[in-house]
Amino acid sequence: MSPSLWTAAIHLAGKSASTVKREDLDAAIGVWRRMEHEGNISSSSVAFNILFDLAIKSGQFRVAERIIADMKKRKAKFSRFGRVAQIFFNGLKGNARGVRRAYDDFIKAGEVVDTVVLNCVIASLIRSGEAKLAEIMYERMKEAHERLKRNASEKAVMYPLPSQDYSAYRKASKRLGRVLGMTSYLYDKLPDHHRALQAAMPLTPDAKTFHILLSYHAHVTGDLGRFLSLLSEMEGTLSIPSHGMVYILLFQGFAIHGSKKNTRWTYPRLQRAWLSFLRAVRDYDASIQTKPRTVNRKAKFAWSTETSFVEGKEQETQATAEEMEEAEEEFKEEANRIFHGTFNDAREELEDEWKYENSVYLGRTVIIACLRAFFTCGGRSAVLGVWEQIDQLWQGNLKQRDIDAVRAVLRELVPPRCH
């Protein structure tokens, strides 16, 4: 077998599934050892980079460190891909100094920085306790976006923006990453060209940037004001429409912070968030039925005009039991009105990852997050109320294993005797 075939075998052995486990790493290392001992082929930098990535993704940090040591001994160098993985690795270890050092090494190696790299740095800084620095990097990316818009005649604007065509943007980002892997030689041989290339890079935030920051504020800080501010910037300043992941993070935020004292993650706000989600799914469904294979990425979902549900001031007066019951009935009626006749079994089956990143739909993850949010903020009766609506809409759109997972969570929150 040729070295390239051995390298491909290492990669396939380690990534036989979507998630990398210890046994996957062991399988990849087994193929690597066979390559060196049976095939009598010395490891290339590519093979080491693959093993390093697998070690990180499987959580085997000691193995990753041994791979780095072996690379140094053999004088093998990290590729662009491997240098980005080093930034991520230090973030997983919570080593803020290591993150900054790895990023500096990345630049000193002559690599060109793009949005993918900055997203990795932001996520790694947050993991290592440097959230303020991560926010500063995000603000600089916003400034880069504004400069890009002002300089509309520059060539950099030809690079697809997320707000223009998200699918094209993702494809262009992947192609760009492969091209940038070959540009480090410019740093020493053609420094002027290298600087010009870096200056032309559109270092603008994308959906992944916002996913990182929104996750942090939904799961860690509980700062609902900052969550909504980021969402407003995403939809307004950068014209990136909300997608299913935003609602998942929002409901998870309610589930985590809804029971805390003096929280802003209140039950009435959760109800309005749920109604906003239903409108967004309805609107997306309508767009799919009108144009089966086309989704207008420029059109904002209902959420963009619904953010007042958390920004406005709520009445702090104590409601009577009768008033609360009336409000609950109005809430159910509104939800039924929104969804009357909108779900359709003829909707095309889409890949889960694509759905979460490009659409708003009633899937397993968002249902579970919603059930937990309603339990935290409103208790068992709230869960049963929202479940009545979900139960009428969801099963035709999920696989059996997803249905089983949702029902397991429902039984956990509300034992069978209660429903």
Q: How confident is residue 417, by pLDDT bands cut at 50, 70 and 90? A: low
Distance CA 348, CA 350 (A): 6
Candidate from 284-293, 368-377, 403-412 with smallest mean pLDDT: 284-293
Residue by residue, what is the 3-state secondary structure of 119-135? Answer: HHHHHHHHHCCCHHHHH
Interatomic CA distance for residues 177 and 84, integer angstroms:
11
**Domain range annotation of the chain:** 1-77, 78-229, 241-418
Nearest C-alpha neighbor of 91 from the set 136, 50, 131, 139: 131
Element (DSSP H or E) covering residue 389: helix 364-393
- Residue 291 pLDDT level (bands cut at 50, 70, 90): low
Residue 345 is predicted with a pLDDT of: 36
| Beta strands in 307-356, from DSSP E residues, in sequence order | none
Least confident of 10-24, 114-128, 182-196, 239-253: 182-196
pLDDT at 325 over 80: no
Average pLDDT along the chain: 80
d(CA 130, CA 138): 13
pLDDT of residue 50: 92
Provide the 10 A C-beta neighbour count for residue 325. 11
pLDDT tier for residue 207 given thresholds of 50, 70 and 90: confident
Name the residue among 373, 410, 371, 370 with its Cα closest to residue 259: 373
- For 147, left (φ over 0), alpha (ψ -120 to 50), or beta? alpha
Long-range contacts of 148-151 (CB under 8 A, 24+ apart): 148/202, 148/204
CA 254: distance to chain centroid?
Answer: 18
CB–CB of 174/111 below 8 Å? no
Best CA proximity match to 329, nearest among 267, 392, 391, 385: 385
- Burial code (b: 16+ CB inside 10 Å, e: under 16) for 9-21 equals bbbebbbeeeebb
- Cα dist from 266 to 249, 259, 312, whole Å: 15, 8, 12
Is the CB of residue 50 less than 8 Å from the CB of residue 9?
Answer: no
**Secondary structure (DSSP) of 9-75:** HHHHHH-SSSS--HHHHHHHHHHHHHHHHTS--PPPHHHHHHHHHHHHHTT-HHHHHHHHHHHHHHT
Q: pTM of the entire structure?
A: 0.79
Give the pLDDT score at 167. Answer: 59
pLDDT tens, residue by residue, 240-283: 777 788 999 999 999 999 999 999 999 999 999 999 998 888 87
User: What's the average model confidence in pLDDT over 28-55?
Assistant: 90
Give the residue-averaged pLDDT of 69-91.
Answer: 91
**pLDDT the model gives residue 169:** 61
Kindly report, residue by residue over 138-181, the tens digit of the pLDDT: 999 998 888 777 775 544 444 555 544 555 666 666 666 666 76
| Residue 276 token pair | 């906003």
- 79 band by pLDDT with thresholds 50, 70 and 90: confident
Confidence of residue 305 (pLDDT cuts 50, 70, 90): very low
Contacts of 207 (CB under 8 A, 6+ apart): 162, 166, 234, 240, 243, 245, 357
